[in-house]
Structure 1
């Protein structure tokens, strides 16, 4: 079974508006409460497509309960540790004309050492049936990036592949424990590399450095510019698909879902990249985070190209 690990669970409150002009009242045309938090997004997407997973994480309060209910409704096995504070709510403001979106994030969970120990215990217990572990996202108050070192080490000691999607110090520290795959976006890779990832070539160079340094294979998502995958003995450029863009929120997390789905079925990682890019395109056509129509996936999948690079 696919296992996802989300220390900092969250929900997205998406507000669809006509514009975001300052110094005036902005009225939302549509309000959507949806899943958030990278790996839990992946579980939600997998559940939408009928693929089971176990979502391990930390949660608290009414929003934590709501997140658990939303995942369970998709057939996800929910395994949350109750902690302090509250599961966070992020606000995503989406222009109705697809001209852009703005996300305001929060951090309201509070984790103590006993909670962290329990979370790692639940991860360990789940590994006997795990085909891969998807982990990442921000961390609650009270946790340090060394959590990712511990979690990756536990999974790798059980010979379970790890897909990491994190940013900043969480990504830096996590890579030092040699996850099998990383899925940074343009901004996350720019921060890690110390220079702007402004082209597929720049993404290729930075991802090649990750492979050489950590042995970690990377799928770098570049938004409307497609993606670059640097694997152990090959690399690809994946051209962008033509979508009716509403909101990209959750699109990167859809790539995580695709990679995990392929690993679950012991398929080549190229299959996972194709699935992930099709899932991501479908997500972009919906206003809610990590929401997709399976019919869109079927339509986009044959359009995904993996072009050998460079």
Structure 2
């Protein structure tokens, strides 16, 4: 595992099961076909997708029980170097059902096992060792039960001491309790809304929220993914709007992780951040063509990269966004 330029951390991985059914109805037995299993969870997905793009990447994750053993087996078979921290609980499973008659997708995600303090400490120790030779650390995904909401701030401290730049993609408490140490923060617009407790309906409000995180020293840059509407990139010097590539989506699962993976790979190649984000949009489009959390095809990413338009500059950004019911700017940050 030594020598990887990119290291990912997944505290709450999942064995992703995807299947098809003709129709999903309550109280009925749903006859499923064509099931597949993939190792999943934010950081694991990022590692797998970055590996497909030719990056030197390693994955740190927790693993417990039969589901954890199967996850590690699949991750290793995919060619991704990994260190699995053994835990007492069983790794969670997620279940996705594609309904053939309507094209709708149903996703069922379990909370995951509670981690002991000793298991959390071991995760940080393993990450500390791996990050010592890494240029980038990607911490991605939800935090499992039993983990303090400021855990990713501890991860940021590990990255700072190791000289690695942290790219964070998390929701809920994982994002809300960050105080600093992030190089690139990649929330979806939904996650940004949850953090600020504000609808953030307009682009101006979304830009202002992102800039507030930068001005507070949480991160150097924010990439807000907007789904079919593309993405926003905000730094201290500029605000940019990126358009998405329209594709006929097979599944939206993992598209955000695909974006993070390609952004990180682009940065590891020495690209400017705006070019890395264009690569991320191409990867997200390619991921939409695949089933479940299966990896995209690199040729699709490269083809779409040539189709991603150059970003447009946004000239005006409001100074602040007020959370609902609050007298002053108080996003969910300590």
TM-score, reference length from structure 2: 0.87
Counterpart among 57, 61, 81 of residue 61 in structure 2: 57
Structure number, greater radius of gyration: 2
Q: Deviations over 1:230-269 (max 9, x none)?
A: 1221121111211111111000001110121122222211
5+ long unaligned stretches in structure 1 = none
Q: Deviations over 1:189-238 (max 9, x none)?
A: 11012122434333222212211223511111111111111122112111
Q: Deviations over 1:102-160 (max 9, x none)?
A: 32211232322221111111111112210100003122232112221111111022221
Change (3 A) 1:197 1:99: farther
Counterpart among 165, 182, 185 of residue 182 in structure 1: 185
Query: Structure 1: how far apart are the matches of 2:102 and 2:205?
Result: 27
Q: How does 1:1-310 map to 2 (within 5 A)?
A: 1-96=5-100, 99-173=103-177, 175-216=178-219, 217-305=221-309, 306-310=311-315
Query: Structure 2: how far apart are the matches of 1:82 and 1:215?
Result: 31
Q: Would the aligned equivalents of 1:16 and 1:30 in 2 still touch at CA under 8 Å?
A: yes
Aligned to 1:110, what secondary structure does the other structure show? Answer: coil
Shift in Å at residue 19 of structure 1? 4.0
Change (3 A) 1:291 1:134: same
Aligned to 1:246, what secondary structure does the other structure show? Answer: coil
TM-score, reference length from structure 1: 0.93
Q: Structure 1 or 2: larger helix share?
A: 1
Larger mean Cα displacement after TM superposition, 198-207 or 295-304:
198-207
Query: Structure 2: how far apart are the matches of 1:16 and 1:197?
Result: 35
Equivalent pairs, count: 309
Q: Would the aligned equivalents of 2:211 and 2:236 in 1 still touch at CA under 8 Å?
A: no
Change (3 A) 1:22 1:146: same
Aligned to 1:156, what secondary structure does the other structure show? Answer: helix
Shift in Å at residue 183 of structure 1? 0.8
Aligned residues: CA RMSD: 1.9
Shift in Å at residue 18 of structure 1? 3.9
Moved over 6 A (4+): none
Larger mean Cα displacement after TM superposition, 30-39 or 94-103:
94-103
Q: Would the aligned equivalents of 1:56 and 1:78 in 2 still touch at CA under 8 Å?
A: yes
Aligned to 2:330: none
Change (3 A) 1:276 1:151: same
Query: Structure 1: how far apart are the matches of 2:193 and 2:73?
Result: 36
Q: Would the aligned equivalents of 1:98 and 1:246 in 2 still touch at CA under 8 Å?
A: no
